[in-house]
Chain A
């Protein structure tokens, strides 16, 4: 076993020797430098391995004196992780910086080594004065590294940093000195004991000095200005090094110091300053125009979060390992992002349009690092945040949870805003790129790979082999981008089919909510991957990400734990985000999709936290919640799922996301992804619905709100669909509206309502998938989504026409196809519940759907064919095959709705007892209000149809077919005759009639929200004047403010 002392001694010695070694040549310097760091990695790694295996913590007594007389160093698990991280970062940073002249010459190398020494000293020491010394070493190292050979901005940033650093040092030194005076010891553990034994009079102010000094060292709000300037001015590679070494070390130092604050009045100050930093830095970051500055704010915010958690770690509410996960996550992700920023070289955020377009591996790295930064699974940050939140929930801190989640949402805004630019304009950018060296890339690749150690926890949370296997194949496909797109689609088809095969009969059963949704998911995935055989993949990584998406959904459905559910939910969110963004104009709508989904996710998370705070661990355990907890959990969950379902009020993300996502993905987005909030409502939220509803008693039934939200969604989206000029946007609005009916059905909370909702879940998958696929084929052949550029295609694309025809009849609910049963069930359920106005309202909105249904089929297929489309071919056969895979079940359902209704009846019977819906004879469905017989209608229609057709064929003369231009003109033949397809502004009079309700109040509201937060962020940025004097002033003001508050109490 190597002595941990060598972890400090070796680099220190090497730092002194390097100038001598440099005489042997630059190569020798580098080799020795790297060898030193490699040695550190090996030793630290070895120690970590042993400590994790149960070895005792190493205590080193310098000079042989036991504490408190001698200075002692400690190497426990936490220290070992941080030391390893520091060495790893330093090693990769050294590689990265090897090509930068200033940083890689002997001075730079020495300073890098010194930084490592300072950081490791800080991490390991238990002596307060020693801490101060290492703080100074690190500080000097930082200025030196930042300032060396930089241009003006770097120099200035370094200077300001130094000024505030000096002030910080003064405060820290004063604090340390007074503490020594007070307690007579410098050993941290000793001092903490003495302080807590008797809070010596006057210790409050002393601790405050130390606290402000550390706030300045940690660069927390309001003293984070210079650090952010530093990110802006310094070389990103250097900043990455600092993140891995000094920043972590200072944080750990402060973590050790929290022992001193136990029981003092400053504990709350620590939490407040930490959380303020997290929220404010994230808020200010959203208006940044420069990448590195934005990353600086992000670092400040992350550090704020970590500091915020420290008092809870002391009080035992949160485990230290949770904070550790967050530290590791931040280090790996932020360093990778900084290196990427250095490689790309563009400082302006807008200059990142299409970045790494021809370097897919780096783009994958960027995406992974961003996902990790914002705390999405399976990366360590997610697990850290989850456990931190659970700790807060158990400790009874709902407000902290709320603020934390709000801050995290802001993080979504700017990180995904960054990715938006990266995904934007990928197609346009193909300039000659600077050749990359492996040394530059190594760090990014290595660190992003390391981030994947979070997958281990994913395996524990899910426990679904099928899901993990699907996701694993997905990851392989993402990396194997050389495989052609259609072959990848085939792989996806096989993988999903294999999963379905494996789960067939055991889990794919319609009489169980999970089984039903699982069936919907796998069937939908198979249909779109089959269609994928006929269309080019929108992006090379498309099918891989798609498989990850399917895997996450399967896991989400199969899991039994709340954690597993939420992990699946979030992976579903980001993978679908990536798919939406993968089309040409998808980046902007995808951004909006992600921000709203993020908000929805946090609402759901909030609901789950209420449950976890009540001691619930598993989905099944949710039923034990009662009272106010049940109501608040239910309300949060329902709100989250409603936002994700794009319910009215939060619908503005949906139309663009549906319309602009790749044609191959829209059917899945509409048919399957939109059903997942329904799964959430039906399985997660419904488990606590009963106590939640009964909590308010007869005073108010919260399901009314859900019902009207569903109803308004159905009506509003249907109305907006009518006025669209774009086929996919029309269907997008329609999809959201249809989900509104489903929400309404669930809100009825009766067996019949649920049967109606679930019937519609299946039916909507079928007809909307069909419509989107058919439209995808048309768009592929015609090259446009605009109605005005189509027309008359029935003659060129008859199979697609039949698909759309069947699709719209099923959608409109006109007998004899499957849609009618859905409408019938819903109305009967609403009448049973006594919601009469909603019944009539829904009848109205479902009739409005006729308008857009007709619009869709008329504008594309009927009317006059455009000259340019005379030779358009039918859609590719895989697409047609996929469509008819959906047509068959529609027809089956039309004939025998009972084949679906019977299992659904069993499903709802488990929850509510049997419903009023009964089958009389074989085919007549009877509810308490009405009846209908699907087969009788079908037979009636067919008999009439055939009879009349025979009549028409025999009676009268044989009809001659004439061309589309051979029509009766009322006196005027406008040239050219092709212009006569009436498709633009088809329902203009209708629009005029509805003008009062079409003012776009909801969009205006969200625009205001965005404007106001941006304005606040903009105003807040002025807080950081860039003037060193102001920063110093802030430090003194902070002392005064905290002293005022703290001593007054």
Chain B
């Protein structure tokens, strides 16, 4: 496939992913509202918010890093999406995954968060700083079970390449890593709860504590860009988990179904649990999820 064509497909992919992310967050809000006995916003509320923020007449900023923060956030989300093959074997949907392997993806996940943290911190709002402190703390904690799971998968697939890991799962549902490496899957899906920051791990945005957390000071087009970045970031993560554990996908419909299921897992948990304190959240990830991850790695080492 020629490069301009690939570029065009990627742009389309990005836009679709953003829309999908906004839509899915709308669905979740609706679901949560129904669980709590409310009517809830319409499922397209995300699009309304985005449009409204873009046409606001005033905007304020706190300095260069603040100005760049949404760009970091969005670039981090879009970049992550572009590094992950959505459908392996379909060049239009493999994005730019030739750029690097799973290690690159894992590190690129932090790009947006850290960049945004810098900008949010420049705002000088203490709630932003507190939110960042919590967010980074939790991020390192769930990284341990996730890293263990990734190492287990990569070692058994013999590669860090996402495409290779997907290819190693072909041949039926029971070849999925979800079933061949159940312990790794447990570790990673528990880590996923932390990544998505729904309850009980919603300590970063923590309503009633530090109203919005890091984005407190962001407004208008800054906030809109940030929202878009978050949407695509969430989608990218779901696609990654699909590739790692659910055997990837062969067509877009499969992508939609699988990613929705993955996302629903965190909603399911989030609807039931109240919020942890920060240290409780950290201890949680360093507890059973880590044990599961270590066991997964040991199993792989024994099976060699």
Contacts and interface: CB of A to CB of B under 8 A. Distances in A.
Nearest to B74: A948
Interface in A741-782: none
B71 A945 contact: yes
Nearest to A989: B278
Interface string B69-105: 0110011001100100000000000001011111110
B217 interface: yes
B148 A933 contact: no
A967 B75 contact: no
Nearest to A956: B221
Nearest to B203: A989
B59 A959 contact: yes
A846 B53 CA distance: 37
10 contacts: A854-B121, A854-B132, A863-B124, A930-B101, A949-B71, A967-B123, A970-B127, A987-B137, A992-B279, A993-B279
Nearest to A992: B279
Nearest to B60: A962
User: For this complex, into which size category does the number of interface residues on chain A fall?
Assistant: 35 or more
A976 B216 CA distance: 21
Q: Which of A937, A949, A980 gathers the greatest number of chain B CB atoms within 10 Å?
A: A937
Contact of B139 (A831, A843, A847): A847
A936 B98 CA distance: 9
A792 B286 contact: no
A959 B60 CA distance: 5
A956 B54 contact: yes
Interface in A917-965: 924, 929-933, 936-937, 940-941, 944-945, 948-949, 951-952, 955-962, 964-965
Given A931-B101, A936-B98, A836 B61 contact: no
A851 interface: yes
Contacts of A932: 99-101, 103-104
Nearest to A939: B99
Interface in A892-908: none
A940 B14 CA distance: 14
A831 B154 contact: yes
A966 B60 contact: yes
B169 interface: no
Interface stretch (A309-317, A340-348, A539-547, A822-830): A822-830
B260 interface: no
A286 to B, nearest CB: 42
Given A851-B140, A970-B127, A941 B79 contact: yes
Given A863-B122, A936-B100, A956-B220, 5 more contacts: A839-B151, A840-B297, A941-B111, A959-B67, A961-B62
Interface stretch (B20-28, B30-38, B158-166, B239-247): B158-166
B110 interface: yes
Contact of B60 (A812, A836, A952, A961): A961
B148 to A, nearest CB: 4
Interface stretch (A245-253, A813-821, A1037-1045): A813-821
B124 A948 contact: no
A858 interface: yes
B19 interface: no
Interface of A: 792, 794-795, 805, 812-815, 820, 823-824, 827-828, 831, 834, 836-837, 839-840, 843-844, 847-848, 850-851, 853-854, 857-858, 862-864, 924, 929-933, 936-937, 940-941, 944-945, 948-949, 951-952, 955-962, 964-968, 970, 980-982, 986-987, 989-990, 992-994
Given A940-B79, A952-B71, A970-B211, A814 B61 contact: no
Q: Which of B60, B74, B137, B298 gathers the greatest number of chain A CB atoms within 10 Å?
A: B137
B262 interface: no
A990 B279 contact: yes
Contacts, number: 251
B282 A993 contact: yes
A847 B61 contact: no
Contacts of A948: 70-71, 74-75, 225
A843 B144 CA distance: 7
Contacts of A844: 140, 143-144, 147
Contacts of A960: 58-61
A701 to B, nearest CB: 15
Nearest to B209: A970
Interface residues of B, number: 89
B237 interface: no
B141 interface: yes
Contact of A987 (B71, B106, B133, B159): B133
A941 B79 CA distance: 7
Interface in B106-127: 106-108, 110-111, 114, 117-118, 121-127
Contacts of B133: 982, 986-987, 989-990
A944 B108 CA distance: 14
Nearest to A982: B129
A828 B68 CA distance: 33
A957 B304 CA distance: 60
A956 B56 contact: yes
Nearest to A985: B133
Contacts of A827: 103, 160
Given A815-B111, A843-B147, A948-B74, A930 B221 contact: no
A812 B103 contact: no
Contacts of A850: 110, 114, 136, 139-140
A937 B216 contact: no
A834 B221 contact: no
B167 interface: no
Nearest to A838: B151
A964 B125 CA distance: 8
Contacts of A951: 225
B124 A837 contact: no
A828 B100 contact: no
Contacts of B67: 952, 959
A588 to B, nearest CB: 32
B185 interface: no
A962 B102 CA distance: 41
Contacts of B143: 843-844, 847
Q: Which of B57, B82, B114 gathers the greatest number of chain A CB atoms within 10 Å?
A: B114
Given A932-B104, A952-B67, A836 B279 contact: no
A936 B96 contact: yes
Contacts of A965: 124
A862 B278 contact: no
A764 to B, nearest CB: 17
Contacts of A931: 100-101, 161
Interface in B276-304: 277-279, 282-283, 286, 293-294, 297-298, 300-301, 304
B118 A836 contact: no
Contacts of A792: 124
A836 B300 contact: yes
B277 A814 contact: no
Nearest to B208: A970
The 9 closest A-B pairs by CB, nearest first: A956-B221, A930-B160, A930-B101, A989-B278, A932-B100, A843-B147, A993-B282, A862-B121, A982-B129
A843 B55 CA distance: 42
A848 B122 contact: no
A960 B67 CA distance: 11
A1007 to B, nearest CB: 28
Nearest to A979: B126
B111 A831 contact: no
Contacts of A840: 144, 147-148, 150-151, 293, 297
Contact of A957 (B107, B152, B161, B220): B220
Contact of A959 (B100, B117, B136, B220): B220
B202 interface: no
Given A940-B99, A957-B221, A993 B63 contact: no
Contact of A814 (B63, B110, B304): B110
B99 A980 contact: no
Contacts of A929: 101, 154, 158-160
Given A937-B104, A955-B221, A836 B132 contact: no
B29 interface: no
